Structure 1
């Protein structure tokens, strides 16, 4: 290998590592990946024996490998086919002091006609009100494993919790993270673009960092469901999500570095 080739490889490696590795005295970005469902909670069903819980876990492992290769400190809320409650997932994320949270799911439709025609990727961030009825239906399905149903919890209580979240920078950054990931998902997979959405997901509501939920496709669709079970397609999904994460982290670090340092006692009460 020539010296110019070695220099080029070194430069490329540095570019890949900048977003998630830290500067002097700083730790790497800490990322929690949440494979949806698990154990007796199988999630949505796909062609043959394909289940959402398996697809989500496989993609999560692939995503972790990519983010770790880029220097990230990555945790999974479940490493295997095990039942982990939504509350435990939230607590685990906060206990790790995560900088980012990404929940992986696969979507589905209830009727044969809708299953045959509905496909595509969606990326969600938290909101007290959903983007529409379809987004609310997705949230209700994913929230079915929550300690209480949406009806039992009460919309007013949820709104009270989320009103406080709306004022936090983590919530604003959740939107930025969703918009960093989603177009890359569409470009890599060429899946139907069902947009960035917002909805009241329980698993996102208690996380103390930027958080998104990615519906990687409709496992109930006869063609897209088969794709979701393929290793090569899962790699495309993992690659797209990791690229979005790295772009988000790079932009966030650039933003934070540009902020003026606060001097103790300079703020007025």
Structure 2
């Protein structure tokens, strides 16, 4: 295909996937993109001066551009290199009445040998139990900035139970969102596939909409870390994430449109 036609094809492809912007009587989907860390919380370190907080923000901005071009109403939890607490990120998402939440991070390993050997992309959704020791370790690292207890968030036991009921369907859809985004990330980047996993991430636990956390690669790996700092590779990641979101929203709107209204019936003895 001539290169001059590719931008047009890309635009047409996005229009065909529009599930949320152009239909009469429907508001655009509200999507919150969460660039991990920020400010003094630099996150993981990569080659040279590369830092997770910078990579996460750059990719988040690229994802926003793509989703806004498709008609989405997109917010970032931080627009610049600023420190935003995990509690503030959750509150911002819920205050916006978000339909989707995507948190973007880069992974790392602690020892030189592990840094040289470990690479690849992982996509997470919330679970009380981690899907393995590695998933638990990732959650522990990302939760290091979280309040030390539920009391620190000001949650009562009753409020937590009520919120949990509200999140039930959102949690079920979170796994669908993860499986929509992850294969596209692997196809688009040809990175090592570390799978869709589950773990108890604080930033996912309070969000009242489908939510995933994407570890876009190991910034500590010599080659993959260098890629994460490059604009062309970040565009591949952003394109895959945006395409996964669009496909998920299209399928979800189709599903919700065919649901029969739920009407309460008589209580049988």
Q: Do both share a fold (TM > 0.5)?
A: yes
2:74 matches 1:74: yes
Aligned partner of residue 124 in structure 1, secondary structure: strand
Aligned counterparts, 1:24-103, within 5 A: 24-103=24-103
The 8 Å contact of residues 59 and 237 in structure 1, kept in 2 or not, is answered as yes
In 2, distance between residues paired with 1:113 and 1:228? 20
The 8 Å contact of residues 30 and 72 in structure 1, kept in 2 or not, is answered as yes
2:189 matches 1:189: yes
> CA separation of 1:42/1:11 partners in 2, compared to 1, >3 Å: closer, same or farther?
closer
The 8 Å contact of residues 35 and 77 in structure 1, kept in 2 or not, is answered as yes
Residue 24 of structure 1 deviates from its aligned partner by 1.2
Equivalent residue number for residue 217 of structure 2: 217
Aligned partner of residue 116 in structure 1, secondary structure: helix
2:95 matches 1:116: no
Q: TM-score, normalised by structure 2?
A: 0.88
Residue 149 of structure 1 deviates from its aligned partner by 6.6
Equivalent residue number for residue 243 of structure 1: 243
Residue 60 of structure 1 deviates from its aligned partner by 0.3
Counting matched residue pairs gives 254
Residue 47 of structure 1 deviates from its aligned partner by 0.3
Equivalent residue number for residue 138 of structure 1: 138
2:13 matches 1:15: no
The 8 Å contact of residues 63 and 238 in structure 2, kept in 1 or not, is answered as yes
Q: Any idea what the Cα deviations from partners look like across 1:29-77, whole Å, max 9, x if unmatched? A: 0000000000000000000000000000000000000000000000000
Residue 163 of structure 1 deviates from its aligned partner by 11
Equivalent residue number for residue 126 of structure 2: 126
In 1, distance between residues paired with 2:179 and 2:65? 22
Runs of at least 4 residues off by over 6 Å: 8-11, 160-163
The 8 Å contact of residues 167 and 209 in structure 2, kept in 1 or not, is answered as no
Residue 20 of structure 1 deviates from its aligned partner by 2.8
Root-mean-square deviation (Å): 2.5
In 2, distance between residues paired with 1:168 and 1:134? 26
Aligned partner of residue 34 in structure 2, secondary structure: strand
Equivalent residue number for residue 207 of structure 2: 207
The 8 Å contact of residues 15 and 70 in structure 2, kept in 1 or not, is answered as no
Q: TM-score, normalised by structure 1?
A: 0.88
Gapped runs of 5+ residues in structure 1?
none
Residue 164 of structure 1 deviates from its aligned partner by 3.8
Q: Any idea what the Cα deviations from partners look like across 1:202-232, whole Å, max 9, x if unmatched? A: 0000000000000000000000000000000
Aligned partner of residue 223 in structure 1, secondary structure: helix
Aligned partner of residue 216 in structure 2, secondary structure: strand
Residue 243 of structure 1 deviates from its aligned partner by 0.5
Aligned partner of residue 188 in structure 1, secondary structure: helix
